[in-house]
Amino acid sequence: MLHSTLPKRLLSALGFIVAVAAIANHAASAQTLVVYNAQHESLTQAWADAFTRDTGIKVALRNGGDSELANQIVLEGAASPADVFLTENSPAMALVEGAGLFAPVAGATLAQVPPQLRPSSGKWVGIAARATVFVYRKGAFAADQLPLSLSDLAKAGWKGRWGASPAGADFQAIVSAYLLLNGEAATLDWLKAMKSNSVAFRGNGNVMRAVNSGQVDAGVIYHYYPFVDQAKTGDNSRNISLHYFKHRDAGAFVSISGGGVLASSKNAEAAQSFLRWITGKAGQEILRTGDSFEYAVGVGAASHPNLTPLSELEPPIVDPTRLNSRKVVELMTAAGLI
């Protein structure tokens, strides 16, 4: 008897739970702003929480990487549940923009960000920024041994000495800048040299860990990793020094994290106000005070005091809408890096 009733009860209980969960889920999605978030989850969550406090508008995040979410939005097309898309790098924004899926960003929002930190098209806007950095193990290089350009790392002397995370959108954004500045043939040559010279890791954090523990001498990542680690336990960045390429080199690329409103959004007004809020005073202040250590991009907004000021980094001048992520993937696939 027990055998026949127990599973039935269990099943009906489970069925009930599913039904409740489905209803709750549906009810939640009716009034909530859906953000496809490729930015650091903790940063966007901090933004979302504060935004909800200020405006009463609820925000739900779907987290993922830049390229994957951008391609997902393109696949979803007009059926996309997303209202807002936030990224770490520009190429993913350019991809969605190229597919014609963004609504123009409100003028008031654009006015909050200086022109060099947003695309000229006005289809999306910079929300934060990150700088390319050459990290190396303390003492591994004398000052005059440090590379002058990202291109130097293709030279024979660098074999096995540096690491990167070629599958990540961060590094691919740097490559997209290289492509824009140096052209397709030179980029493919550089990538092929990279295939034989570099050690591939998954994730910039792992590159930093490897440099820190002495597996490789150096790595090409973004600037904030060591700062974030120092703010936590510091375990993975104790032996790390930073070197910025500057001089408008591709290796000095500053990647603009973007935010845009989907044209298919049914909450366009709330979506625009979220973007305005992030690029405004309150949103940019979270970049200065929080533990993301990304650069603030708002007009007059200060970044975290520990960072080398953005104005000193001499980044190359690139139009972010022209960064071509698909071409980069094609070239990197051809070079055997991914």
The binding site for another protein (CB under 8 A) comprises 3-4, 10-11, 14, 17-18, 21-22, 25, 28-29, 32, 34, 40-42, 60-65, 67-68, 70-72, 74-76, 79, 81, 166-169, 172, 199-203, 205-206, 208-210, 212-215, 225, 228-229, 232-233, 235-236, 325-326, 329, 332-333, 336, 338
The minimum distance between CB 236 and another protein, in angstroms, equals: 6
Report yes or no: 116 and 99 within 8 Å, Cβ to Cβ: no
The minimum distance between CB 233 and another protein, in angstroms, equals: 5
The Cα–Cα gap between 112 and 92 comes to: 22
- Tell me whether residue 31 or residue 116 sits nearer to another protein (CB atom): 31
The number of residues in the chain equals 338
- Tell me whether residue 239 or residue 299 sits nearer to another protein (CB atom): 239
Report yes or no: 66 and 255 within 8 Å, Cβ to Cβ: no
Kindly state the tokens that stand for 274: 């979220």
The minimum distance between CB 296 and another protein, in angstroms, equals: 19
At 143, give phi and psi (nearest 5°). -55, -35
Report yes or no: 200 and 164 within 8 Å, Cβ to Cβ: yes
- Tell me whether residue 4 or residue 145 sits nearer to another protein (CB atom): 4
The minimum distance between CB 151 and another protein, in angstroms, equals: 23
- Tell me whether residue 217 or residue 249 sits nearer to another protein (CB atom): 217
Place of tokens 């009930």: 16
The minimum distance between CB 14 and another protein, in angstroms, equals: 5
Residue 202 burial by Cβ neighbours in a 10 Å radius (0-12, 13-18, 19+): exposed
- Tell me whether residue 112 or residue 236 sits nearer to another protein (CB atom): 236
The Cα–Cα gap between 15 and 52 comes to: 33
The minimum distance between CB 213 and another protein, in angstroms, equals: 4
- Tell me whether residue 135 or residue 252 sits nearer to another protein (CB atom): 135
Report yes or no: 304 and 293 within 8 Å, Cβ to Cβ: yes
